[in-house]
Structure 1
Amino acid sequence: MTNLIATIKEIETIDSLNIVSFDFFGTPLTMMSLELKDEVQIGKKVILGIKPTTIAIAKNFSGEISYSNQIESAIQSIEIGKLLCSIKLISKGTTFESIITSKSAKKLDLKENDNVTAFIKASEISISKVLDD
């Protein structure tokens, strides 16, 4: 599981649907959730959990896309296996992982130190823990 520390900036609720906005060191992130614990409040720092297999990678991306979460990153290391590829990314001093197919990694010609954009759907982020002040 990839973990990112962020601060809750906004919570929008309609019926049982919640859209939570975060600040990840100046990068906005958004989460979609059906349930929120009472301790989830604006201004709180949280640990966000993201499965590495749900983080998509783009190289030289330009244009519009429906993914609300876009993190500019650099490839710290890359391990290409027969079927899957583990990519360690670094952004804002935080290291996290993306797992994509080896075919995709080769198609993008990914290498260490490449600048890439990590994309995460709002439905793929969860709050793992609310941190104490």
Structure 2
Amino acid sequence: MNRLEAEVTGIEGVKGLTLLELRCGGVPLRLLALSLPEGIGEGSRLALGIKATRLALASAPCEGLSLENRLPVKITSVRKGQIVALVGLDFAGASLEALLPRTSFERTGLEEGEEGFVLFGASDLAILEVLP
């Protein structure tokens, strides 16, 4: 599980759904949750998790997608297997991994040492813990 730390900058809730506005490494993120741990409010610091299989990778910024979360990353490693590629990424000092079909990764044209973007949806993020 990939781990990121973020600060809550806004909260909107209606009928059991909550949309958190977050800031992570200077980048805005959104998280859609069915329930929230006690004590979360604006200014709260959170540890967030996202599975390696939920990350999409792009070689350039993408517009017009429903995947609204976009992080600029540097590719730190690439391990290609017959079916999948495990791609090591750096975002603002945080190490992440993306597990993609090998052909999907190759389609990006990205190589180790290059910069790209990780994309994921608001419902792909999970709150791991509320930080002090």
Measured in 1, the distance between the counterparts of 2:57 and 2:16 equals: 31
Measured in 1, the distance between the counterparts of 2:108 and 2:13 equals: 39
- Paired residues for 1:76-87 under 5 Å: 76-87=76-87
- Paired residues for 1:90-105 under 5 Å: 90-105=90-105
Measured in 2, the distance between the counterparts of 1:9 and 1:89 equals: 25
1:44 paired to 2:44: yes
How many pairs align? 132
Say which SS state the counterpart of residue 103 (structure 1) adopts.
Answer: helix
Aligned CA-pair RMSD: 1.1
Q: Normalising by structure 1, what TM-score?
A: 0.94
- Identity of aligned pairs, percent? 27
1:14 paired to 2:18: no
Q: Normalising by structure 2, what TM-score?
A: 0.95
Measured in 1, the distance between the counterparts of 2:62 and 2:53 equals: 23
Measured in 2, the distance between the counterparts of 1:41 and 1:61 equals: 30
On the 8 A contact 2:79/2:87 being kept in 1, the answer is yes
Say which SS state the counterpart of residue 53 (structure 1) adopts.
Answer: helix
Question: Is there any run of 5+ residues in structure 1 with no aligned partner, and where?
Answer: none
- Paired residues for 1:1-133 under 5 Å: 1-132=1-132
Say which SS state the counterpart of residue 21 (structure 1) adopts.
Answer: strand
